[in-house]
Homo-oligomer: A and B are copies of this chain.
Amino acid sequence: MTKKNGPDAALQNPLAPFNLYFSLNNGLSDAAPSLKRHLSKMKGMYADDAAFGRLLADGGDPLVYEFHELGIPESDGNLAFGTSILYPGKVGSEYYMTKGHFHTILDTAEVYYCIGGKGLMLMENPEGDWDVQPFEPGRAVYVPGRYAHRSINTGHEPLITFYVFRADAGHDYGTIETKGYRKIVVEQDGLPIVLDNPKWQ
């Protein structure tokens, strides 16, 4: 009676109804592959370049996070969604994080619902406002339009979030890769603290 069209249905336009499974335990889908970001893809984004280099040399390019890109057609009536799984770890004293991005259509929001782990969403807008919001299981974080956003894992388990944004929002990674964020989150005496990013331009 029920159909399991899987993510390929999302490539039709107009879209047909479909469903897709993402485990509440580990965030992974049984049908949609994830995109994987290993540490080597984040060169220069962590504050401590020496620690970054040692980790790459000794650690075999660890998987920092993975997420889903379903290929939903990019119209303003469609929604893109998926899960992000950010693993625990640090580069020096700085917690593992995602690259983070602005939306290309800057004034579009994104909603994250945390289903596992512990962490923070670090946000900043072009006007210089910044903010952090907490992730824990059951906590939703609202990223308003204009805010670049980056997830940070401050715990000891994978930080797993389910996210939704307008399908035509687009991702601008370049601005963050060039300028960096104004702030970084590091561990000090066992707790996360927010510091100015020494590399911010």
Query: CB within 8 Å of B: which residues of A?
Result: 1-4, 10, 14-24, 76-79, 81, 105, 107-111, 113, 115, 120-121, 123, 131-134, 137-147, 162, 164-167, 192-194
CB of A14 within 8 A of CB of B131, answer no
CB of B17 within 8 A of CB of A133, answer yes
CA distance A136 to B81 in the complex (A): 17
CA distance A15 to B192 in the complex (A): 26
CB of A140 within 8 A of CB of B22, answer yes
The one of B2, B78, B134 that contacts A109, using a Cβ cutoff of 8 Å: B78
Which 10 pairs of residues, A with B, have the shortest CB-CB distance? A164-B164, A15-B144, A77-B107, A2-B134, A17-B131, A77-B145, A19-B133, A77-B108, A79-B109, A24-B138
The one of B16, B21, B131, B141 that contacts A140, using a Cβ cutoff of 8 Å: B21
**Cβ contacts under 8 Å, A164 to chain B:** 79, 81, 111, 164
CA distance A23 to B140 in the complex (A): 10
CB of A18 within 8 A of CB of B109, answer no
CB of B24 within 8 A of CB of A137, answer yes
Closest B residue to A9 using CB positions: B142
Most buried by B among A16, A19, A165: A19
Contacts A79-B110, A113-B113, A166-B166 supplied; 19 other A-B pairs, CB < 8 Å: A1-B193, A14-B144, A15-B142, A16-B131, A17-B142, A18-B133, A19-B139, A19-B140, A24-B24, A76-B166, A77-B107, A77-B109, A77-B166, A79-B164, A81-B113, A111-B164, A113-B162, A140-B162, A164-B164
CB of A144 within 8 A of CB of B16, answer yes
**Cβ contacts under 8 Å, A134 to chain B:** 2, 4, 19
